[in-house]
Amino acid sequence: MLKLLVGVARPNFLTLTLACMALAAAWGWYASGALNWLSVLLVLLVALAAHISVNAFNEYFDFRSGLDYLTERTPFSGGSGTLLKYPDQAGQALVVALVTLFLVVALGLWITLQQGWELLWIGVPGVLMIYAYTQYINRSPFFCLLAPGVGFGMLMTLGALWVFTDQLSAAAWVLAVIVSLLVSNLLLLNQFPDVEADKQVGRRHYPIVLGRKASSLIFIGFLVVSYLVLLVAVWQAWLPPETLLSLVTLIPAVILMRGVVAKANKLQELVPFMGLNVALCHLYPLTLAAGLVWAGVYSS
């Protein structure tokens, strides 16, 4: 049972949530000079529960659709394969998804009562997206591309920024947009190895519709725009200059962009670049957080 719970939760992927929350907390501390650590803990629990829930729903629905039997897994895509080992426990995976979703709703409502009903503009779409992502959103290329980024950036990260600072500043939107672009790219690249399998169960994403080579150009566009957004934000003084520390990630980003274009249709050779993409999705927000902490310490 423990192996099942750990498998469907995909704990090795939950570090992305921790990176997003570190960024939100860093901005909250920089912007207000203090943090309510109870609020930080509650928001972190909601974020982790949301991530576990969407992972468990994904494991359950991919097993039920037969996709798990068709997918050639990599360390970064194709699910955990847990339910292939424990097929009679699929119902338990659904229970994990539903219980963690209930936790998201319960804790989210508690935070909303403390913060204000306006947070429902983020909470309600977030709950709907957790359930709908695998079953419905994956059938629309446009929404499938944007949904992961919206979930982690415009809902999870922006919601945390709102709770920590009690407002939505230009900087909060900028940070949420950067996270959105990174996470949408993360899922986009992870779809490259699954094209043939995903076709057979009715999924439609851009690597299927446009092909991997054309999708690699979308990948490059999203990554370039994320850096342009950062530069504009510093130029407009929405973010402090210290956040330009994140430009150090341009080195792996350039390597990544060249590799994705060159290896788009060479899936075995693409796997190391998928790993580099995961690293970049962590390093970029964490260097932003470090820049904010640096700016806060310097200004004090």
What are the pLDDT digits (tens) for 272-287?
A: 999 999 999 999 999 9
- Which residue has better confidence, 258 or 296? 258
What pLDDT score was predicted for residue 1?
66
In the chain, the percentage of residues whose pLDDT exceeds 70 is 99
> At 289, is the secondary structure helix, strand, or coil?
helix
* Backbone φ, ψ for residue 222 (5° rounding): -65, -40
What pLDDT score was predicted for residue 67?
87
What pLDDT score was predicted for residue 232?
98
In the chain, the percentage of residues whose pLDDT exceeds 90 is 75
Asked if 220 and 260 touch (Cβ cutoff 8 Å), the reply is yes
Q: What is the mean pLDDT of residues 234-238?
A: 97
Assign 266 a pLDDT band (cuts: 50, 70, 90). very high
How do residues 180-198 score in pLDDT, each as one tens digit? 999 999 999 999 999 999 8
Taking the model in full, what pTM does it have?
0.94
Of 16-20, 75-79, 89-93, 202-206, the range with the highest mean pLDDT is 16-20
- Which residue has better confidence, 25 or 9? 25
What pLDDT score was predicted for residue 300?
59
| pLDDT surpasses 90 at 75 | no
179 vs 259: CA distance, rounded Å:
21
How far from each other are the two terminal CA atoms of the chain, in whole angstroms? 50
Instruction: Measure Cα distances from 297 to 33, 245, 290 in Å.
Output: 10, 15, 11
Q: Which two tokens stand for residue 170?
A: 């230009």
Q: What is the mean pLDDT of residues 295-300?
A: 79
What pLDDT score was predicted for residue 168?
92
160 vs 184: CA distance, rounded Å:
19
Q: What is the mean pLDDT of residues 101-118?
A: 94
Assign 155 a pLDDT band (cuts: 50, 70, 90). very high
What pLDDT score was predicted for residue 72?
81
Q: What is the mean pLDDT of residues 25-49?
A: 93
Q: What is the 3-state secondary structure (H, E, C) of 6-64?
A: HHHHCHHHCHHHHHHHHHHHHHHHHHHCCCCHHHHHHHHHHHHHHHHHHHHHHHHHHHH
